[in-house]
Amino acid sequence: MFKRLFNALVLVALSLALSACVSIHAYVDNSLGDTNYADLKKSAAPQPIQLLFEFQTKGVSNARATESTRPKVFEEISRSGMFSSVSYEPVASGRKLSVLIQNVPLTDNPGGKGFVTGLTLGLAGSTVADGYICTITYIEPGHDNVATEVKHSIVTTVGNATGPAGLAPMTLMQAFDKVVRQMIGKGLRDLGNVSDLAQ
């Protein structure tokens, strides 16, 4: 899932085995926050929707991340209440919701940073930033597509490095789940504000 980030962290695996003092913490940018689905603008007559999802790493389709992230996206869209049902299979109306999440690098040479951290057993900490871009497109036959884009980020510290001020540390998986949840929530909110899903 975090292929690029994990490539950097693999280089510190030896030091993790030798020293329990090396720590890895992830921090989620707090600019988005969580969306209250009860406040979303919804159709008076919600319709079934087919979910299409893909995860890309640096512009290339990432099948493993797509497979593991798809259920998280499905759950959030179902919880939103904007659609009467969500399916991976086509629906009678032909309506589709296409979700693309792209992982883009925000830090140069994360492998080199991880290598230095590993050599020093965590004494020389390193920081890696990962960006995420979520594009949600509503597709309905006979109508123009409606799309919205949401950006988010995760900062990860390894070893003796200080995290961003004011942000709570968490595991990589907790951070990723939070980013997905917040991007989907914000994207659906924006989508509801610019489209009438009842038509």
- Report which of residues 78 and 127 the model is more confident about: 78
DSSP of 122-166, one letter per residue? TSS-EEEEEEEEEEEEEE-TTS--EEEEEEEEEEEEESS-PPPTT
Say yes or no to pLDDT of 31 above 90. Answer: no
Q: How confident is the model at residue 17 (pLDDT cuts 50, 70, 90)?
A: very low
Say yes or no to pLDDT of 116 above 70. Answer: no
The share of the chain scoring above pLDDT 90, in percent, equals: 59
Report the C-alpha gap between 112 and 143 in whole angstroms. 49
Q: Kindly tell me the sign of the dihedral angle through the C-alpha atoms of 85, 91, 96, 99.
A: positive
Non-local (6+) Cβ contacts of 59 within 8 A are 102
Say yes or no to pLDDT of 159 above 90. Answer: no
Gyration radius of the chain over CA positions? 19
- Report which of residues 117 and 125 the model is more confident about: 125
DSSP of 66-98, one letter per residue? HHHHHHHHHHHHHHH-SSSEEESS--TT--EEE
Say yes or no to pLDDT of 153 above 90. Answer: yes
Q: How confident is the model at residue 163 (pLDDT cuts 50, 70, 90)?
A: confident
Of the ranges 33-37, 97-101, 119-123, 163-167, which one carries the lowest mean pLDDT score? 119-123
Q: Kindly tell me the sign of the dihedral angle through the C-alpha atoms of 191, 196, 198, 199.
A: negative
Report the C-alpha gap between 150 and 32 in whole angstroms. 9
Counting the structural domains of the chain, the total is 1
Q: How confident is the model at residue 158 (pLDDT cuts 50, 70, 90)?
A: confident
Say yes or no to pLDDT of 4 above 90. Answer: no
The share of the chain scoring above pLDDT 70, in percent, equals: 76
Residue 199 lies in a domain: no
Say yes or no to pLDDT of 111 above 50. Answer: no
185: amino acid identity, one letter: G
Give the per-residue pLDDT at 1. 52
Give the per-residue pLDDT at 26. 94
Give the per-residue pLDDT at 22. 63
Work out the average pLDDT over 15-21. Answer: 44
- Domain with 159 in it: 3-168+175-194
CATH number assigned to the domain comprising residue 149: 3.40.50
Work out the average pLDDT over 86-99. Answer: 97
Report the C-alpha gap between 58 and 65 in whole angstroms. 13
Residue 73 lies in a domain: yes
Q: CA torsion 184→52→43→140, rounded to 10°?
A: 140
